[in-house]
Structure 1
Amino acid sequence: MTTTAPTTTTPTPALDPARWPDVARVPHVPLRAVVAARLLHRLAARRGLRIEHPAGLCRQPAPPGTPVLRLHRPGDFLHRVGEGGLIGFGEAYQAGDWDSPDLITLLTELATAPQTLVPRGTQWLRRLYVSRPPAADLPTAANARRNIHRHYDLSNDMFALFLDPTMTYSSAVFPTAPDGAPEASREALPTAQHRKIDRLLDLARVGPGTRLLEIGTGWGELAVRAAARGAHVVSLTLSEEQLVLARRRIARAGLDDRAEVRLCDYRAAEGVYDAVVSVEMIEAVGRPFWPDYFRTLDRVLAPGGRVALQAISMPHDRMLASSRTQTWILKYVFPGGQIPSVRAIRETAARHTRLRVTRADAYGPHYAETLRLWRERFTEQSAQLAGLGFDEVFRRTWEFYLAYSEAGFRTGYLDVHQLLLTRDEVAA
């Protein structure tokens, strides 16, 4: 580990205790802070991290590619991490206690084999700071709309700052180079989002006359594209902001006679459909309600019908380890969620329904590139956030969220799949 003085300073964001109570509050846990400091130095030595802080000695800049953790308020940082672990690490970034000249490089290193961040002999320390998500965030029928509101109803204009003109908030599928790597660029993103949508619609065999149920509307691009194929679309959302804009976009496309958007929980879905498509919706369902989700798919699917899902996934053992654990992402970005494993999807569908996963295609590197493009555009447009009513802590929260997610896909800790589910009696 090398310790140096920082080359830049970051002003402390104005912290509104009412809006950001746990970011504004700096805990005082001296013993835990000492433990956090020792673990940090050990981690830096093992992973080749460069730690910079105000009291460090001046040295040469870190070589390119070196993960750098630049501490502006080391004491606050260590007390936050000592009390809250990775949640405290994220809150320290929100508060401006630390930065990095290359946030992705640092977070990618930390996302590599995250189970080894704490030495095996000190795993018991996890009990000191790990908590369960609050009961109010459990995505029951009563709570789900509030959870969705806290993320998707922030502001359509805010999402438009970093999404492409299709307003598609899920992984794109890019063309691939000969080595299999996605060929991603900002200009190619709208086409790549249409490629993703078309693959899902093809997987579900959506065409003229298809009765299609979409669970999770987004801002309406899939519904528009399906209706343009001649399908009759019913799309369900719990986001009032998305509902208004999706309906407007459908009407603008002249397709409101074929596509209908309803403010409706998936559990209350009505009707019978030839196909069901759901894009990155299962992550918000919550593990206790996965059986309900798949039972709904089975209940509304006509004989011979097909279900096409796009789902973020994680390794099964990591899913089990993180289940029922509060995380920074759950606390500040996606309350009530749980990323499944593909195994969990297969087993839940098989245990509770007649549906079976008959195809699963992975696109993890494509999500890393999608997130990179979103993050870069968010950074470029962030000066406009204040005009939309968002403060500096919000900017740092979303900067960290996008980079944190990108790092997860770059390391393979996270993946994304397009999955086909059919009933036992139907051949894929």
Structure 2
Amino acid sequence: MTDLLPAVHQPVPQTWPSLVAPRSNPVRRAGALAAIRMVAKDLPVSIVLDNRRYGNGGPTMLVHRSGPFLDRLGQDAGSGFGEAYLAGDWDPEPGTDLADLLVPFAERFSNEETRHLLPRWAQSLRWLVTKSQPADQENDRAGARENVSRHYDLSNAMFSEFLDPTLTYSAAYFGGDPLADLGSASYDELTPAQLRKLDAILDAAGVRSGSRVLDIGCGWASLAIRAAQRGAWVTAITIASQQALLAQRRIADAGVSDRVQVALRDYRDQIGEFDAVLSVEMIEAVGEKYWPVYFDAIERRLAPDGVAVVQAIVMPHERMLATRNTFTWVQKYIFPGGLIPSVKVIKQVTNQHTGLHTQVLRSLGPDYARTLRIWRNRFIEQWPNIATLGFDDTFCRMWEFYLAYSEAGFRAGYLDDVQLLLTRR
């Protein structure tokens, strides 16, 4: 728990209407409490609720408002736990790191034998408290632009406060054992690790002087700048308008405007032929319906001897299948319209819909956990500056939970981040 916020937080209802406590339902509340008891008995955590302690010790979660907490869980299994944190219904015990508390839950999901938090009979009732992704998050051209803008156009200044100077918003590549001494992860080590990641992608794609490069979902242009510094000609595309403006400014500041063109363009509308097509952690925003379109677009843009490198956050295939039609907290508050694929489904899609062969080059899951820890520490450290941009304490809790929740997923192995090489079969 950060000391930036009071022990019991209360969001402003007018600003956060989705966090208004749901109407109490005794049946749902009893069901949520029963689920907590079942989950806690097998986990190395402690949940203190109504002066009773559930669990087997370990990191402790303090429930401040048991009624709203149980009502949220009973109403929406996908978002209720995270919403309860945003609303201030619970906090980690003082001195307990939020990600450390969430890791045992993520480990339960990542373990083949204990992947489901609830027993099988209780899983059959999940449909009662599980919501589907809303139709307005469809990733057609208009919907994709709206979904992406809601995250990446939040505030360039906000992202600049916690990302490293390269403004690279994806897993860094530390090498060694990134999870060793995680508590001492330093902001100073982030830029070298991000540059190592960028270089690994460019090396795998064979980018050199004269290469024609397409960067799909270019972010704030760190990869495009790095490629241009090798002498490549780069087309960098994004559908986030504010992001594109800052990317252009950063390219000019780097002195490579003559080699990089930034376009506000959907990947489906790109034309031309390229020696290398690069796309870093963009597939997660594509949506399952459009995965074949995405990989077909990559293939159509490749020169006959060209190669593509895609860096993708992935999850176990069975979990992807189980959750692909549910509306999660991350989709509701962080990445609307998003869905994390599996390596298996990526290979299936590329085999069935393209002439591309997909090879896993490396895994950066532990590296992402360290990256996220550094981002979260920096976000908290810089919160006074971020708050002046017009964000409130509930927003702080939302991003702290998002970064800790993600870190826990990568630490547990429930999530991974892979660099994939795609070549013509």
Give yes or no for TM over 0.5: yes
- Conserved 8 A contact 1:13-1:392: no
The offset of 1:423, in angstroms, is 0.1
Consecutive unaligned residues of structure 1, counting only runs of 5 or more, are 1-7
Matching residue within 101, 108, 117 for 1:113: 108
Query: What whole-Å deviation, never above 9, does each CA across 1:313-363 have from its counterpart, x for those lacking one?
Result: 111111111112110000110000111111111110111111111343111
Match of 2:134 in 1: 134
Q: How far apart, in 2, do the equivalents of 1:54 and 1:160 lie?
A: 41
Residue identity matched to 1:120: R
Consecutive unaligned residues of structure 2, counting only runs of 5 or more, are 110-114
Q: TM-score normalized by structure 1?
A: 0.92
The offset of 1:41, in angstroms, is 2.0
Residue identity matched to 1:84: D
Alpha-carbon RMSD: 2.1
Q: What SS is found at the alignment partner of 2:188?
A: coil
Match of 1:223 in 2: 224
Match of 1:317 in 2: 318
Match of 1:421 in 2: 422
Between stretches 125-134 and 257-266, larger displacement belongs to: 125-134
Cα gap change, 1:177 to 1:39, in 2 (>3 Å):
closer
The offset of 1:69, in angstroms, is 1.4
Match of 1:125 in 2: 125
Q: How far apart, in 2, do the equivalents of 1:298 and 1:263 lie?
A: 21
Cα gap change, 1:392 to 1:177, in 2 (>3 Å):
closer
Match of 2:39 in 1: 43
The offset of 1:112, in angstroms, is 1.5
Residue identity matched to 1:317: E
Residue identity matched to 2:64: H
Matching residue within 39, 50, 58 for 1:66: 58
Q: How far apart, in 2, do the equivalents of 1:106 and 1:359 lie?
A: 31
Residue identity matched to 1:107: L
Q: What SS is found at the alignment partner of 1:52?
A: strand
Q: How far apart, in 1, do the equivalents of 2:178 and 2:215 lie?
A: 34
Q: What SS is found at the alignment partner of 2:125?
A: helix
Q: How far apart, in 1, do the equivalents of 2:202 and 2:40 lie?
A: 47
- Are 1:97 and 2:98 matched, yes or no? no
Q: How far apart, in 2, do the equivalents of 1:376 and 1:231 lie?
A: 35
% same residue: 49
What is the 5 A alignment of 1:258-273? 258-273=259-274
Match of 1:329 in 2: 330
Residue identity matched to 1:31: V
The offset of 1:138, in angstroms, is 1.3
Q: How far apart, in 1, do the equivalents of 2:290 and 2:89 lie?
A: 37
Cα gap change, 1:157 to 1:387, in 2 (>3 Å):
same
Query: What whole-Å deviation, never above 9, does each CA across 1:136-169 have from its counterpart, x for those lacking one?
Result: 1011112111001100000011111211111110
Cα gap change, 1:69 to 1:216, in 2 (>3 Å):
same
- Are 1:76 and 2:68 matched, yes or no? yes
The offset of 1:179, in angstroms, is 10
- Conserved 8 A contact 2:64-2:89: yes
The offset of 1:67, in angstroms, is 2.2
- Are 1:176 and 2:176 matched, yes or no? yes
- Conserved 8 A contact 1:211-1:275: yes
Between stretches 354-363 and 263-272, larger displacement belongs to: 354-363
- Are 1:24 and 2:25 matched, yes or no? no
Cα gap change, 1:387 to 1:180, in 2 (>3 Å):
closer
- Conserved 8 A contact 1:67-1:109: no
- Conserved 8 A contact 2:277-2:308: yes
Q: What SS is found at the alignment partner of 1:339?
A: coil
Residue identity matched to 2:309: A
Task: Report the number of matched residues.
Answer: 411
The offset of 1:175, in angstroms, is 2.8
Between stretches 320-329 and 8-17, larger displacement belongs to: 8-17
Between stretches 46-55 and 376-385, larger displacement belongs to: 46-55
